[in-house]
């Protein structure tokens, strides 16, 4: 697989764009080896858009996603005539495929057999991408819900900013104390590590994209080699964004509460499993990050405790110095609170969730350590019943 990936990269770098081979020109295996994206010959007239949703055991959320998409079909932008919607059933064991087939106009296909060196999601997406007929491709998750008119607006935004790849960071829907307190902590760190303004700046090296909403122009997708170029990557969106910047196809990334929302995790257990898997991929310095968050915990907890102790000491020692020292600690604590809130507010979560964030610090530190241990010591991650090398 490594040789195949290297061959594909060399082919792309020599010619700029990889060639289109039809099924009659080469078998599917040879197509992948040569870096070809689309199986079929180019249609005389492309559709405007292909939406691709990989789905593995998503019966609980797929319906809302599909409803939000098919409702955007209208006389001037008709599903089946101007655009297509493909759901890839990634060998689900629940009723995911049946849910998808219940929506008129939705094409349901089964993911190809999962080969070594591929993640399940990348394999499912690649299965659909190679048969896509759209001038633009939208890769989105089954857990997303799209606002009315989102598809048209994304197309116009990509054209306006001359972006071959447009990615949205969705508005996160959370429930329960632990999700509301931990998720802002994760997303503020992401906002600091991958500032959207720098990501969208071609002069900056930092690159990122969210696989929950990845909108790519057909030729740009071909140029970066499609999902075959990131076959074994768990965070395929980030890796595709790196390639997009490297191949200079134009990358735009932003927080988009106006366009799409998602409930990443349905329970606290899912959240713990998900971030245990992902944090090690997202941050190279998980242990250092955990250390600084421990400092936050100590400052937020110990400063008021020490202030009270100093005030009590003043009472018994009859000294104003202890009283002044206590108030100095209170002022430091207030400053720490404002600094902490200012950091967490970068997550784009509501005020109430940001206020709850200090309660999530111990769990966040635990997740950072668990993810570090999983990636650096065990070097294996489990996701949706499949084991991958970290």
Q: What is the 3-state secondary structure (H, E, C) of the chain?
A: CHHHHHHHHHHHHHHCCCCCCCCCCCCHHHHHHHCCCCCCCCCCCCEEEEEEEEECCCCCCHHHHHHHHHCCCECCECECCCEEEEEEECCCCCCHHHHHHCCCCEEEEECCCCCCCCCHHHHHHHHHHCCCCEEEEEEECCCEEECCCHHHHHHHHHHHCCCCEEEEECEECCCHHHHHHHHHHHHHHHHHHCCHHHHCCCCCCCCCCCCCEEEEEHHHHHHCCHHHHHCCCCCHHHHHHHHHHHCCCCEEEEECCCCEEECCCCCHHHHHHHHHHHHHHHCCCHHHHHHHHHHHHHHHHHHHHHHHHHHHHHHHHCCHHHHHHHHHHHHHHHHHHHHHHHHHHHHCCCHHHHHHHHHHHHHHHHHHHHHHHHHHHHCEEEECCEEEEC
* pLDDT by position in tens, the chain (length 390): 434 444 433 333 333 323 332 222 333 333 333 345 776 677 778 999 999 999 999 999 999 999 999 999 999 999 999 999 999 999 999 999 999 999 999 999 999 999 999 999 999 999 999 999 999 999 999 999 999 999 999 999 999 999 999 999 999 999 999 999 999 999 999 999 999 999 999 999 999 999 999 999 999 999 999 999 999 998 999 999 999 999 999 999 999 999 999 999 999 999 999 999 999 999 988 999 999 999 999 999 999 998 888 887 655 555 677 778 888 999 999 999 999 999 999 999 999 999 999 999 999 999 999 999 998 888 777 777 777 776
* Residue 85 near residue 51 (C-beta atoms within 8 A): yes
Give Cα separations from 182 to 19, 179, 188, 280 (angstroms).
Answer: 46, 5, 10, 16
CA distance 152 to 87: 20
Give the sign of the dihedral formed by CA 332, CA 335, CA 341, CA 346: negative
Predicted local confidence at residue 150, as pLDDT: 95
Q: pTM, whole model, 2 decimals?
A: 0.84
Nearest CA among 359, 348, 342 for reference residue 190 = 348
Predicted local confidence at residue 381, as pLDDT: 79
Predicted local confidence at residue 16, as pLDDT: 33
Predicted local confidence at residue 54, as pLDDT: 97
Please, what are the domains in the chain?
2-170+210-265 (3.90.550.10), 286-389 (no CATH)
């Amino acid at each position: 697989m490594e040789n195949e990936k290297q061959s594909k990269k060399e082919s792309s770098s020599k010619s700029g764009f990889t060639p289109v081979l039809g099924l009659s020109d080469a078998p599917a295996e040879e197509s992948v080896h040569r870096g070809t994206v689309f199986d079929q010959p180019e249609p005389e007239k492309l559709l405007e858009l292909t939406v691709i949703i990989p789905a593995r055991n998503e019966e609980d959320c797929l319906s809302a996603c599909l409803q939000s998409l098919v409702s955007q079909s209208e006389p001037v932008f008709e599903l089946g005539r101007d655009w297509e919607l493909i759901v890839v059933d990634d060998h689900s064991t629940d009723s995911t495929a049946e849910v998808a087939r219940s929506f008129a106009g939705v094409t349901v296909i089964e993911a190809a057999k999962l080969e070594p060196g591929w993640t399940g999601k990348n394999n499912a997406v690649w299965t659909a991408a190679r048969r896509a007929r759209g001038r633009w491709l939208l890769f989105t998750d089954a857990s997303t819900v799209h606002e009315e008119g989102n598809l048209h607006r994304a197309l116009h935004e990509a054209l306006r900013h001359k972006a071959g790849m447009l990615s949205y960071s969705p508005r996160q829907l959370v429930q329960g104390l632990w999700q509301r307190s931990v998720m802002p902590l994760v997303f503020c760190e992401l906002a600091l590590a991958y500032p959207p303004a720098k990501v969208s700046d071609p002069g900056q090296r930092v690159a990122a994209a969210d696989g929950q909403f990845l909108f790519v122009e057909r030729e740009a997708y071909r140029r970066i080699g499609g999902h075959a170029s990131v076959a074994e990557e768990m965070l395929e969106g980030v890796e595709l964004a790196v390639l997009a910047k490297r191949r200079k196809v134009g990358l735009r990334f932003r927080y988009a509460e106006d366009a799409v929302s998602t409930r990443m995790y349905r329970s606290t257990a899912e959240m713990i499993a998900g971030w245990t898997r992902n944090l090690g991929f997202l941050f190279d310095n998980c242990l250092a990050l955990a250390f600084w968050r421990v400092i936050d915990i100590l400052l937020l907890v110990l400063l008021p405790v020490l202030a009270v102790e100093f005030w009590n000491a003043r009472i018994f020692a009859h000294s104003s110095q202890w009283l002044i020292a206590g108030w100095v600690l209170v002022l430091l604590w207030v400053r720490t609170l404002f600094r902490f809130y200012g950091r967490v507010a970068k997550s784009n979560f509501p005020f109430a969730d940001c206020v709850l964030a200090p309660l999530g610090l111990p769990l966040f530190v635990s997740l950072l350590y668990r993810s570090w241990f999983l990636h650096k010591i065990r070097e294996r991650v489990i996701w949706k019943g499949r084991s991958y090398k970290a």
